[in-house]
């Protein structure tokens, strides 16, 4: 039996400037793409596409996710 996933809350909606700013902030914090997608109510593919269009790198940096570095 196939399970159909519900559409994200912002499916098909335009990106607002605040959405783009939140995407930039989350990417800087090394947040995984799927987590960004959940927080923005979008699909991971939509997040990846918008990040590429805006020149935002989603590649992980050499740090622990969510800035959980050992002190």
Domain spans of the chain, in order of start: 29-58
Residue 26: the pLDDT is 95
pTM of the model: 0.74
Read off the pLDDT of residues 21-69 as tens digits, 9 standing for 90 and up: 999 999 999 899 999 999 999 999 999 999 999 999 998 766 555 566 5
Residue 9: the pLDDT is 79
Q: Identify the three-state secondary structure at position 51.
A: helix
Residue 1: the pLDDT is 63
Spatial CA neighbour of 57 closest among 31, 18, 19: 31
């Amino acid at each position: 039996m196939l399970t159909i996933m519900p559409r994200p809350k912002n499916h098909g909606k335009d990106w607002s400037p605040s959405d783009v700013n939140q995407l930039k902030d989350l990417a800087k914090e090394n947040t995984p793409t799927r987590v960004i997608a959940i927080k923005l109510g979008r699909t991971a593919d939509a997040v990846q596409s918008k990040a590429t269009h805006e020149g935002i790198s989603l590649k992980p940096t050499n740090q622990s996710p969510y800035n959980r570095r050992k002190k």
